[in-house]
Amino acid sequence: MSASDFVRGLGKAIVLGLYFGTNFALAKISNFVKDIFQLDKDWVTRISMGMVVLSLIWGILGIVDALMVRIQEASWGLAQTLPLTVQEYEASITLHGMRDLFGFAQQLILAVFIYFTFKMLNVQPRLKWMFNLGFVLFNISFMLFEGPIIITPQTGFDNYFSATGWYYLAPIGVNGYSLYVVSPLWYIGWILLEIGIYLMTGWYVYHFYLASRNLKEKLPIFLVFGLVVGILILESYSGSFITALWDLLAFYHIVGYNIIADQISFVTLWHGIVYIAWFPAVAALYLLIPMLANKPLYSDKLARVSALLYLIFATGPLGIHHLYMVDLPVPVKIVTEVLTDGIIVPSMMTFFNLWATVKGANIQWNILAALTTMSFAGSVYAGVMGISNSVIAYDAIVHEGMYVVAHFHAFILFSIVPAGFAALYLMVPMMTKRMWYSSKLAWIHFWGYTIGVIMVILGFSYLGVTGLIRKEMIYPISSTFVTGQLITTIGAIIADLATVGWLINLVLTIVKGRVVETEGLSLGELTTSIAMALNGSDDIFINGITKGIVIVKSELHHLIEKRFIKQ
């Protein structure tokens, strides 16, 4: 064989190797994408999983933003250094809220309700284009909020449109009214978000109408709250759409501007968003607690009445309690304070109903029960914190302080997110037909998240009651403030690492989880099956305590026995 033949043959072998290797790699990637997005499943499962995946992407980016804030504030306390610019710090606060509250929470909420609604009502989806368009517009909007990524700073360009602030006498970044002016793309992003959420939510609510024509039984309580959330979204986002459009037109001086009216319009969403996020947690408790207790709900009527009252007391005009310091008539503020406390009534009805349901039940310790318990306790704890915030005199002291931040994060992290995780632990096997890959990772996630979140809430609360103003990266270097910032930062890192463990478990479940048959199983039977697979036998914390108690008992018994023998 000549040298040229050898080189030619070697070249062919390399080309063939690259060809088959590339095809193999592409096939692997294709299968991975198909598994992640459940592309071989029905349309409802595909769009639900698509929303879950996109929500997790925005959620992770929002967590990165939150960590940037934590690093900035902790660095100042430890070494009096600021690793981020002021613009990066301010943008991180805003983007954390935008990505986690809207891109993550809103999208995940709709995904859970859409999936369970179609499965429980057995209705066929129509007008799919309407949902698809809303889904695309909603997720594109988040690409406009941040601003252009420019490595080399250039005059006239703003890397962070979101480095804005809200003050009582100035709107957010409007040309001619604010010292810091943002790009019009910021407002266009808001408008796209609102159009997207309207299309998706309107599509969702429309299918309740379609289902009602053939529905022979009462709507399940879980879906009652799904409908309440849908209606509340349509009502609440009307205010922010008006605000965004008004701000955009005022930016170009096309229309005049009334700052206080603009703020009142905006808080229609800012008030509603809290309950849009929390009501799904209440719905999850109504769904999971009766199934875990293996008992019917104590009072179906009480649950329906509470859902109606929740909708009434969560309406937009009550958002004025976020504007107590604005120059509004005092009687308006007092009426708002009274009506704000009205939310206590359906809340107590709900907690009593769920408590009465679970009383006397023999519930086995599993990951669903653990997360449900945490959500129930967190709702009570955060709700009690909220009562004090509704009082005008107290709010005047704490409104711009870290105590309000503690209250809000207590609701999100201690109540809403655990209920969301519980729903996902149930929902993922239903969609993927695969059981969770690792029960141990599930328990590491639960305890790591629980410990981390408790530290975050305690740290924020400690900073709040000691007088620290929120959004302050430079603060007095005292043991009081530094300790609170460090507790919060360490807790956030622990909770985030635990959540990364959950994410790894999720990917492994989708790709390698044990295949299970879910067809023909009722929701209660499926819940029992998942609860058994994620039971307390792998609970590292409880098992550790149990072993410790056994060892202590054994040692005490040994010492007593030795003493008795000596005597």
Span 85-131, pLDDT tens digits: 888 898 899 999 999 999 999 999 999 999 999 999 988 999 999 99
pLDDT above 60 (res 548): yes
Q: Within 434-478, where are the H helices?
A: 439-465
Buried b (16+ CB within 10 A) or exposed e, 362-386: ebeebbbbbbbbbbbebbebbbebb
- Which of the residue ranges 212-216, 309-313, 470-474, 515-519 has the most confident prediction, judged by mean pLDDT? 309-313
Angle at 404 between CA 399 and CA 405, to 5 degrees: 130
Query: Range with the lowest mean pLDDT among 39-48, 311-320, 397-406?
Result: 311-320
pLDDT at 163: 81
pLDDT the model gives residue 294: 92
What mean pLDDT is predicted for residues 304-316? 91
What is the value of pTM for the model shown? 0.90
Nearest to 326, CA basis, from 94, 167, 470: 167
Residue 513's pLDDT band, with cuts at 50, 70 and 90, is very high
Residue (of 454, 449, 446) closest to 539 by Cα position? 446
Q: Please choose, from the candidates 73, 62, 83, 88, the residue with its C-alpha nearest in 3D space to the C-alpha of residue 490.
A: 73
370, containing H or E segment: helix 367-389
Per-position b or e across 468-494, b if 16+ CB within 10 A of its CB: bebeeeebeeeeebbebbbbbbbbbbb
Single-letter amino acid, residue 271: H
pLDDT digits (tens, 9 = 90+) for 147-197: 876 666 666 566 778 887 655 555 677 888 777 788 888 999 999 999 999
- Cβ count within 10 A of residue 562: 10
Q: Please give the sequence-ordered ranges of beta strands (E in DSSP) within 96-187, or none if there are none.
A: none
Confidence of residue 394 (pLDDT cuts 50, 70, 90): confident
Report the distance separating Cα 131 and Cα 28, nearest Å. 30
pLDDT band at 298 (very low <50, low <70, confident <90, very high): very high
Contacts of 122 (CB under 8 A, 6+ apart): none
Report whether 288 contacts 372 (CB < 8 A): yes
Q: What is the mean pLDDT of the chain?
A: 88
Percent of the chain residues topping a pLDDT of 90: 59
